[in-house]
Amino acid sequence: MTAPSTVDESRDGPATDGDPWPVDAYDRPDGVGVRDRLLVLPSVICSHQVADRIADAVDGAVSASHDHGCSQLGADETQTERSLRGVANNPNVAGAVVVGLGCEGVQSDALAATLADDGVPVRELSIQGVGGSAEAVERGVDHARALIDRGSRTATAGLGDLTVGVVSGDLRDSTVERADPLVGSLVDRVVEAGGRVVVAGTERLRPHADAVEGTDRLGAVLGGGDAPRTAGPARRAAERSVEEVTRAWGGRPIRELVPYGAPATHDSGVALVDAPAQFAEAATGLAAAGAHVVVHATADGVPTGHPIVPVCKVTGDGETYAALEGDIDVDARAASAADLASTVGRVAGGERTCAERHGLTTFAITRVGPSM
């Protein structure tokens, strides 16, 4: 759906030069948020249209439509529930309205109870429980408005206070030679400041599992073979050196493997999220891991963002930039490490990314196996 802005419209203009750190942020019980989202969360595919309508009716609300939560098998259903919980616990989320149908596998009342135990301000309803779709929209809008208490940026955050998500979407020359090294320089700055980085794209490490520092703890994941849909990226990664496939995080050692949909627990440094590099699925995994901001290196110029976290698009491809200049936040051919850190700082402080300005979001959860 189209995600409304929750930041000052005056920040739409051209970026200003200079170091923006520290930036204004939102107080959270365990730190800070850089956005103030009210999340309308369907627990199942069957309730996503109602969730969308609720979010559309409430200023500052976003929905996270997905095609999961029903007729899933074992580990897939568990992963879906874990991912929805993780996203609702993201520090950019100020509260959540969980919307169910009433007969799904991932039950809305159970999910809402878990979120309440986590300390998330939450309300819940099911379409069957309130008497139908129209009634659910009306009730959901009331719940959302009751939860909306628009926060003010009363906290401050430095680069070291953030969890930065990173996904490099491809292994084309322009990405490996220009975009990834620039993103890696940002990772260096975040880690040196005491912050955290979470990286998606497990498939690119599989051909190099023995050579990546820290992967002695990741053998079960990286040595487990390739699913058909990630076999292509893994083959392309095998044609690259380990130094090339890890440039997006500067080749730093991996301190933790984060299951898809779960929060990262490392204090600082780089953690690997068990997520593919496909953008929509990667962004959800990174958001669930706790990323405040996601940096997406892409030669394809994928223009969409994510409803929960602002996404900075970085490309090193001249043709992509020429075709999609209005969708790219950073041209890696011209930007320095300081430029990228400054861009991320301005975004963390409220400046909208290209995807946010265009209202483009996508939400997806990766699958373990087939659904029925």
Percent of the chain with pLDDT over 90: 72
In a domain, 168, yes or no: yes
CATH of the domain at 228: 3.40.50
In a domain, 22, yes or no: no
Q: What is the mean pLDDT of the chain?
A: 88
Is residue 324 located within the same domain as residue 249? yes
Closest to 113 in 3D by CA, of 132, 129, 128, 96: 96
pLDDT given at position 229:
53
**Which residue is associated with the tokens 């953690």?**
271
> Which range marks the domain in which residue 68 is found?
37-147
Residue finishing a domain among 115, 147, 179? 147
pLDDT given at position 4:
36
3-state secondary structure of 268: coil
Given a cut of 70, is residue 225 above it in pLDDT? no
Higher pLDDT, 216 or 191: 191
Closest to 158 in 3D by CA, of 31, 274, 251: 31
Per-residue pLDDT tens digits for 235-245: 888 899 999 99
CATH of the domain at 126: 3.40.50.2300
In a domain, 75, yes or no: yes
Percent of the chain with pLDDT over 70: 86
Q: Quote the CA–CA distance of 315 and 180 in Å, as a whole number.
A: 9
In a domain, 12, yes or no: no
On whether the CB atoms of residues 7 and 350 are closer than 8 A, the answer is: yes
pLDDT given at position 7:
34
**Which residue is associated with the tokens 């996270």?**
64
pLDDT given at position 151:
62
Is residue 225 located within the same domain as residue 97? no
Q: Quote the CA–CA distance of 153 and 170 in Å, as a whole number.
A: 36
Give the residues across from 330 on adjacent strands: 314
Per-residue pLDDT tens digits for 13-45: 333 457 899 999 999 988 999 999 999 999 988
Is residue 182 located within the same domain as residue 118? no
Give the residues across from 96 on adjacent strands: 39, 122
Is residue 226 located within the same domain as residue 193? yes
Give the count of domains, the chain: 2
Closest to 202 in 3D by CA, of 295, 274, 261, 298: 274
pLDDT given at position 216:
58
Is residue 87 located within the same domain as residue 166? no
Per-residue pLDDT tens digits for 161-188: 999 999 999 999 999 999 999 999 999 9
In a domain, 292, yes or no: yes
Per-residue pLDDT tens digits for 308-329: 999 999 999 999 999 999 999 9
pLDDT given at position 369:
66
Residue finishing a domain among 147, 179, 211? 147
Given a cut of 60, is residue 270 above it in pLDDT? yes
In a domain, 190, yes or no: yes
In a domain, 14, yes or no: no
Q: Quote the CA–CA distance of 38 and 36 in Å, as a whole number.
A: 7
Is residue 300 located within the same domain as residue 179? yes
Per-residue pLDDT tens digits for 75-108: 778 899 999 999 999 999 999 999 999 777 788 9
Is residue 142 located within the same domain as residue 161? no
Is residue 194 located within the same domain as residue 317? yes
Is residue 228 located within the same domain as residue 98? no
Q: Quote the CA–CA distance of 264 and 196 in Å, as a whole number.
A: 9
Is residue 164 located within the same domain as residue 140? no
In a domain, 220, yes or no: yes
pLDDT given at position 17:
55
Is residue 133 located within the same domain as residue 194? no
Given a cut of 70, is residue 361 above it in pLDDT? yes
Higher pLDDT, 307 or 6: 307
pTM for this model (two decimals):
0.91
Is residue 137 located within the same domain as residue 191? no
pLDDT given at position 370:
56
Residue finishing a domain among 114, 129, 147? 147
pLDDT given at position 16:
44
State the helix-helix crossing angle for 74-88 and 279-289, rounded to 10 degrees.
60
pLDDT given at position 105:
76
On whether the CB atoms of residues 367 and 82 are closer than 8 A, the answer is: no
pLDDT given at position 66:
80
Backbone dihedral region of 370: left (phi > 0), alpha (psi from -120 to 50 degrees) or beta? beta
Q: Where are the alpha helices (DSSP H) in the chain?
A: 48-57, 74-88, 108-118, 127-130, 133-147, 173-174, 180-192, 219-222, 228-238, 242-245, 279-289, 318-323, 337-348, 354-358
Cα 130 to chain center, whole Å? 32
Q: Quote the CA–CA distance of 172 and 178 in Å, as a whole number.
A: 10
Given a cut of 50, is residue 130 above it in pLDDT? yes
Q: Span 260-276, mean pLDDT?
A: 95
